Chains A and B, each alone.
Chain A
Amino acid sequence: MNVIDAKSPRPVMGLYDQPLWESVNARGMKLQRCAGCGNWLYPPGPSCPSCLSCELVWTPLSGRGRIVSWVVFHRHYLPAYPPPYNAVAVRLEEGPTMISNLEGAMPGEDSIGRAVRLVYATMPDGMILPRWALA
C-alpha cells in the first residue's frame, strides 16, 4: 500500500478519550486534571489514580516536556509507518508520560533529557497527531 493512501492507526477510543482527540483536532491539546489534588491524567480515565476523586477538568497543556527515552523502528509493522521511524517517551511538564514521535530530527545519543515542544502533525490521510519537536 502506498503511504499516501495508508490509513493512520486509529486511537483507542474508550469512554473517556473523545475530549482528548477533539482538543487535538482543535490544536489545543487538553488532558483531565483532578480538581481535588491537581494530578494530571494520561491516558484519560474515570477518576484520579492519586486521590480517587471523580472531579476531573479538561485543561490545556503547556506544550512543554522532556525526552525520557526513544527508539527507532526498523521493521514495517503498520502501513502508515514505513521504517525507519522513531518513537519517543516524553515527560510532560504537567507530570504524565506520553509515547509519541519526534518531528524534524531523528533522536540520538544526546536526546534523553532534551526539552521538546508540542506540535500538531497532519498525517497523509488528514489525521491530526500530537507530536514533539526539539524546543
Chain B
Amino acid sequence: MSQNTTPRAARHPSPRNKRAAAVVGVGHTDWVEDWKRCRNGERPNDSYGYGLGAFRNALADAKISRDEVDGLIAGPTTAYERLGELAGIDPRWGGQADAVLAVSQAVMAIEAGYAEVVALIYGNDQRSVGTQYGGPDAMGGGAFLSYVYHSPWGFTSQGALYALTLQSYKHARGFTEAEMGEVSVAQRGWSSMNPNAIMRKPITLDDYLGSAFVCEPLHLFDYCLINDGGVALIIAEAERAKRMTDRPVFIEGVGRSDLNRGATSLEPRIDQFYLPAQQEAAAQSYAVSGLGPRDMDILQVYDSFSVHVPLALEGYGYCGIGEAGKFLRESRIGPGGKLPTNTSGGHLSETYMQGWAHQIECVRQLRGECGERQVQNARHVHYTSDVAGKCFSVIYGR
C-alpha cells in the first residue's frame, strides 16, 4: 500500500455547516408501478421524465412555487442544462452531482450565500434502457478506470469489486457467510412494511444461504435492484426553511474523506475496507454536529451491495473493528433492533436510486411519516456512503 503520511485523525478541519440548511420538501416517482411496466417491456419515462415527476412531487410536498428555487443540482444521469430547461429553472447557482455530493454541495452553496433554495433532481431509466453494470459495456469506465481496466481477465462487474472486498474482509475479520446474510434478511424485514418497496416478500437466512452466487462470495440477495425512478429534494437556508414549513429536517453535519491511492487495483477496498476514510468522515460530522453514534436513532447506508453495511458499522463507530459480524448476528439492524438500518429496505429491497432515496427516507423518518416501519421518536438519522473512494457522513436531525 502506498505510504500515506498524515495521520487522518490529525487533519480535521472545522466545517461550520451545523444546521445551516434544512430539507423542506421531498418527492419520488412510483417505482413499484414502473417496475411492473418495465418488466412488461414498457418505457414509462426517460431519466428526465422520472426526475421531473419527482420534482413536481417535492414542490408539492414543500408547498412552494418553483419560482422560489434559486439553485439546481442535477443527478449524474441527466445533463444539467437540459434538466434545467425542462424544469424551467434559471438558477443563480447550480451543479451536477451524485446523491451525497449533491446534499453536501447544496449545504455549501447555501452557507456561502450562493443560493437559498436548492432543488436536487435525480432520474434514472437504467432498467428500461438496460444499463449494464458488468460485462463489455459496463458503465462508468470513463470515470473510474477500475471498472474496465481488468476486463482482459474477465473482471468487469461492479459486483466483482465488492465480492473481492467481502472475501478479504471475511479473511481479515473472521466474518461469516451467515453474518453477511443478516443484512439482506433484515432489510427485507423493513421493506415488507414499506408500500414503496419493490421487493416485499420476507426472506430467511436459509433462503439467503440457499440462493445462487452471482460473483462468489456474493449471493443474489447481496445485490441491489436495477429499476427505473426519480427522487427530488428541496433544501433551503435554515431560517428561510423555518418560515417555509413547520417540519424542517436539518442537516446537522457533513463529513467527507477520500481514498484514491491504489484505486484502480482496488487497494483501498480490499486492503483497508475504506476504514480510515470512514473514520475521518465520521469524526468531521460528529465534531460539527456535537453528536455521536450513540445519538443516532437510525442508520442509512449506501448499499449497492450488502457488504457496505458491516464496513459502515465498523467505520462510522457503531461497533469495534471486527465486531460487525456479532452486531449483525444479534439482529440489531432489522425491525425491533437496537440500530434500525436502511429502514426503507434500501437498494437491496426498496429501490436502487443510487443513494437518493436514502435521503428522503431520512427525512420521512424524522417527520414521522413512515407508517408501519416508522421508528418511534426518531430525532437523528445518520447517512453514510463509501462509493468509488469517497466516504461521506451526513447527519440529519429535526
Contacts and interface: CB of A to CB of B under 8 A. Distances in A.
A12 B262 contact: no
Interface in A45-70: 49-50, 68-70
Interface stretch (B46-54, B82-90, B211-219, B306-314): B211-219
Interface string A83-98: 0010101000000111
Contacts of A35: none
Interface residues of B, number: 37
Nearest to A87: B155
Interface residues of A, number: 35
Interface in B252-284: 261-262, 264-267, 270-271
Given A9-B151, A12-B145, A72-B213, A77 B168 contact: no
B150 interface: yes
Contacts of A71: 160, 163-164, 167, 215-217
Contacts of A73: 154, 157, 160, 215-216
Contact of A68 (B152, B154, B270): B270
B134 interface: yes
B135 A78 contact: yes
B148 A96 contact: no
Contacts of B164: 69-71, 87, 89, 99
Interface string B137-171: 00000000100111111111100100111011001
Contacts of A89: 164, 168, 265-266, 270
B320 to A, nearest CB: 22
A8 interface: yes
A94 B149 CA distance: 20
A135 to B, nearest CB: 19
Nearest to A39: B2
A129 interface: yes
B136 interface: yes
B217 A80 contact: no
Nearest to A74: B213
Nearest to B171: A112
A98 B266 CA distance: 9
A43 B160 contact: no
A75 B262 contact: no
Given A71-B164, A97-B270, A81 B265 contact: no
B3 interface: yes
Nearest to A9: B151
Nearest to A7: B136
B265 A96 contact: yes
Given A74-B215, A77-B157, 14 more contacts: A9-B154, A11-B152, A43-B145, A68-B168, A69-B171, A72-B216, A74-B216, A75-B157, A87-B155, A87-B164, A96-B262, A97-B266, A99-B149, A100-B150
